[in-house]
Structure 1
Amino acid sequence: MTATTTAPAPTRLDYDLFSVDDHIIEPPGVWVDRIPAKYQDACPRVVTRDDGTEAWQYEGEQLATMGLNAVAGKPHKDFAMDPASYSDMIEGCYNPRVRAADLLRDGVRGSVCFPTFPRFAGQRFLTAKDKELADLCVRAYNDWMLEEWCGAVPGMYVPMMIGQLWDPQLMAAEVRRCAALGVRAVTFPESMAPFGEPSFHTTHWDPVWDAVTEADMVICIHIGTSGRTHMPSEDASFSVAVALGPINAQITFMDLLLCGIPQRFPTIKIALSEGGIGWVPFALERVDRTWERHRYWAKLDDTPPSELFRRNFWVCFIDEAAGIEARHHIGVDKIMWECDYPHADTPWPQSQQDVHRSLAGVPADEVAAMTHGNAEKLFRWSQRPDVASVLSN
């Protein structure tokens, strides 16, 4: 891994930013350094393919990192879906200290990071054949996240875990184990039905919700984690699916509001990641109208869905002036900011300018809430990194 960092030039930092959605490109040692010797040949490992590109090898497959997942610092004209090796990406993609320096120079001093090889909600191990090894891989990732990623820069990264999605009781135990170590969030798919698992409309996942609420963790649900994409035709460009990505958040939003989970677990905290915010006012009007007209035959709860949203849900934006204009219809206290580093949507290294486009003219107290205050409260995160120490290395 010889790539160099493309750090942003020093700039005026008007906004104190806390990103609730970034992504890790896992370094090669995550699993080989932690999995027992008997599984060394079977656990996820990085290999060099015949064409010189690198890929993760696991259960007979070789899986490369899609280029769009690691384009931070590149001109838009150089974006591509081609497989990306470590040498093709800036070091902040996989090095937590270098990333911290990148983000801090851009005014971002807090970050919640989703996995990449395990997929954004750990679905890779859900579909794995060897569940004993998959269980070890889940726990190894969570330990690595705490000890090596978050531990590299104390106060910078909010610990987020993955779970054993094939076994709610096993996942609940892992939630409790990780909570005792300081984990604040768990990533979960936007729907389990596409994987052949019980949906949110069952009590199958209640052991997980019980453990999460007991630990006061946030459930982070990222778009795309169900495996669903919205392609109008077979010959449509993948860019169509990218543009339609936030629709997944809207589908999940309606599903969760009407499935009974917030009613059974009134303290549950759900953050919808990378789904945007501008659609929320209409969605709330629509779901309340549905509830008003259909709650009797559908046997829905007596609580209007919009009230459940205001109690149990949070949403986030990257660059969305229209959504910010609608902030009072959403609730300023429900809105958070995301950087999406190092994906193609990231504003880095121009986060300050990007945020200003959305928030210019917004009262200072509302700006503070949406750029960092709401995230600090939701994730119970009062820590801050030692900026001078990080930037001096």
Structure 2
Amino acid sequence: MTELPRIISVDDHVIEPAHLFETWLPKKYRDRGPKPLTAGIGELAYVGGKYQITMDPKGPPTDWWIYEDLKFPYKRNIAAVGFDRDEMTLEGITRAEMRRGCWDPVERLKDMDANHVEGSLCFPTFPRFCGQTFAEAHDKEVALACVRAYNDWMVEEWCGDSGGRLIPLCLIPLWDIGLAVAEIRRNAARGVKAVTFSEIPTHLGLPSIHSGYWDPFFAVCQETGTVVNMHIGSSSQMPAASPDAPPAVQAALSFNNAMASMMDFLFSGVLVKFPRLKLAYSEGQMGWIPYALERADDVWEEHRAWGGVRDLIPEPPSTYYYRQIFCCFFRDKHGVASIDVVGRDNATFETDYPHVDSTFPHTKEVALDHVEGLDDETVYKLMRGNAIRMLDLDLDRDLDHLGNRDHLGARDTLSSRDKADR
């Protein structure tokens, strides 16, 4: 391998700019929509796997969103790039203290260039990983307007002038399947190929994927080629062994929800019913996948009669994984060592910018350390090729393995800024 291909990261994050809803939410909803505020933050407590957060006028200045009865602060661990490792704490932070690439798309592109990254798919922060903030809101009319405003901002402002390098990832109104289908169609019409969804919807009080409730959503995603992206924590619940365990236990177990979600899908019949639907697991790493597939196939072979899947799942579950599911990694040498079982066509790469786990600005070195000894074709697939195929990006499929192009293809969008003023 003469040079590492330019990376397409399928899991990064964006800190929403303070003007987002003032600019993109229609005027009639702005008084009831999210509002930015800078105020002091009190001591953060971590109890039973959840953070307890208070405002304190005497506390360190922090940027917040105020929305209905929610007070949402930004913390250093989610805007950690630029800080020393021991400074990546749960303390509050303002946008002025963050590296500007956290929320400014022009500066993000510069950081991507410095980090050997060509393309980036970014998950939300204030809306939470799959839009739980709006799903939990009382006024669903305003919440729907917020979902649409976020998506318009994501497509047209965050991604719009990036030459396609910033890849749109949109939300759906989780509380209404009809509205969710409509939002997928609205965004697909302007070239969006990715939506974020909950890894375990029942943890959010929503119907399970076994119920059939989500079938219209899966059907429209299949029809439009929209990838269903599920980030660890997108069920608002992270694994923890004990209620008084430190957050480090939660961090070490974070892949567990991805594993549970994948088993749910493999035995649900969803992938049988929708054979072109694509699922992507974000930030779950991949070293656990070989045994998970082995166990799933063993259960199917030995226990399918009493296990309720004899007539539901006609082939070994691993069949559907290799056909329709993508994983991603950034620190997982065990997964790379097992790449033949994980799937050379199933694994993608991420940088997790700007979170505490991010490999920025050393992503090239981290990636090279992981792919040492792999053939050029596999390295190309892991660093960018599988992401191009997964997201149907407008890139030459025969692009040389050096990945020298400066930009992804430009993406046409429809303007919504004028609609926000109606």
TM-score (norm 1): 0.93
- Mapping of residues 301-380 of structure 1, within 5 Å: 301-380=313-392
Shift of 1:14: 3.3
Asked if structure 2 preserves the Cα contact closer than 8 Å seen for 1:121 and 1:189, the reply is yes
Q: Which one-letter code corresponds to 1:197 in the other structure?
A: L
Q: Does 1:33 align with 2:23?
A: yes
Measure, in 1, the Cα distance between the counterparts of 2:275 and 2:290.
22
Q: Which one-letter code corresponds to 2:356 in the other structure?
A: A
Distance 1:81 1:13, change over 3 A: farther
Shift of 1:294: 1.9
SS of 1:154 mapped into structure 2: coil
Give the aligned partner of residue 226 of structure 2: 217
Measure, in 2, the Cα distance between the counterparts of 1:386 and 1:73.
25
Measure, in 2, the Cα distance between the counterparts of 1:14 and 1:196.
44
What count of residue pairs does the alignment treat as equivalent?
A: 376
Measure, in 2, the Cα distance between the counterparts of 1:334 and 1:235.
36
- Give runs of ≥4 in structure 1 deviating > 6 Å: none
Q: Does 1:151 align with 2:160?
A: yes
Give RMSD over aligned pairs.
Answer: 1.4
Q: Which one-letter code corresponds to 1:141 in the other structure?
A: Y
SS of 1:103 mapped into structure 2: helix
What CA deviation, in whole Å up to 9, does each residue of 1:69-97 have, x standing for no partner?
11012211211011221122100000011
Q: Which one-letter code corresponds to 2:386 in the other structure?
A: N
Q: Which one-letter code corresponds to 1:328 in the other structure?
A: D
What CA deviation, in whole Å up to 9, does each residue of 1:253-297 have, x standing for no partner?
111111111011111000000001111110000011111122122
Q: Does 1:194 align with 2:218?
A: no
Shift of 1:154: 1.5
Measure, in 1, the Cα distance between the counterparts of 2:31 and 2:248.
37
TM-score (norm 2): 0.87
Measure, in 2, the Cα distance between the counterparts of 1:294 and 1:210.
29
SS of 1:332 mapped into structure 2: coil
Measure, in 2, the Cα distance between the counterparts of 1:368 and 1:245.
27
Q: Does 1:266 align with 2:275?
A: yes
SS of 2:308 mapped into structure 1: coil
SS of 2:228 mapped into structure 1: strand
Q: Which runs of 5+ in 1 are unaligned?
A: 1-11, 388-393
Q: Which one-letter code corresponds to 2:210 in the other structure?
A: H
SS of 2:354 mapped into structure 1: coil
Q: Which one-letter code corresponds to 2:343 in the other structure?
A: G
Q: Structure 2 residue aligned with 1:114, among 116, 123, 126?
A: 123
What CA deviation, in whole Å up to 9, does each residue of 1:193-231 have, x standing for no partner?
112211011110111111111101111010111112222
Asked if structure 1 preserves the Cα contact closer than 8 Å seen for 2:118 and 2:407, the reply is no
Q: Does 1:43 align with 2:52?
A: no
What CA deviation, in whole Å up to 9, does each residue of 1:5-50 have, x standing for no partner?
xxxxxxx973421100000100011111122223222211111223
Residues 36-45 or 102-111, more deviating: 36-45
Give the aligned partner of residue 138 of structure 1: 147
Measure, in 2, the Cα distance between the counterparts of 1:343 and 1:54.
17
Asked if structure 2 preserves the Cα contact closer than 8 Å seen for 1:154 and 1:385, the reply is no
Asked if structure 2 preserves the Cα contact closer than 8 Å seen for 1:319 and 1:357, the reply is no
- Mapping of residues 149-298 of structure 1, within 5 Å: 149-298=158-307
Residues 226-235 or 310-319, more deviating: 226-235
SS of 2:345 mapped into structure 1: helix
SS of 2:37 mapped into structure 1: strand
What CA deviation, in whole Å up to 9, does each residue of 1:284-311 have, x standing for no partner?
0001111112212233121110001011
Q: Which runs of 5+ in 2 are unaligned?
A: 40-56, 396-404, 409-422
Asked if structure 2 preserves the Cα contact closer than 8 Å seen for 1:13 and 1:352, the reply is no
Asked if structure 1 preserves the Cα contact closer than 8 Å seen for 2:29 and 2:145, the reply is no
Asked if structure 1 preserves the Cα contact closer than 8 Å seen for 2:62 and 2:74, the reply is no
Measure, in 2, the Cα distance between the counterparts of 1:344 and 1:48.
22
SS of 2:352 mapped into structure 1: coil
Shift of 1:385: 5.0
SS of 1:33 mapped into structure 2: helix
Asked if structure 1 preserves the Cα contact closer than 8 Å seen for 2:5 and 2:384, the reply is no
SS of 2:173 mapped into structure 1: coil
Asked if structure 2 preserves the Cα contact closer than 8 Å seen for 1:223 and 1:275, the reply is yes
Asked if structure 1 preserves the Cα contact closer than 8 Å seen for 2:197 and 2:228, the reply is yes
Shift of 1:239: 1.4
SS of 1:302 mapped into structure 2: coil
What CA deviation, in whole Å up to 9, does each residue of 1:330-356 have, x standing for no partner?
210101000100001111100011001
Distance 1:60 1:73, change over 3 A: same
Asked if structure 2 preserves the Cα contact closer than 8 Å seen for 1:155 and 1:385, the reply is no
Residues 351-360 or 31-40, more deviating: 31-40
Q: Which one-letter code corresponds to 1:30 in the other structure?
A: L
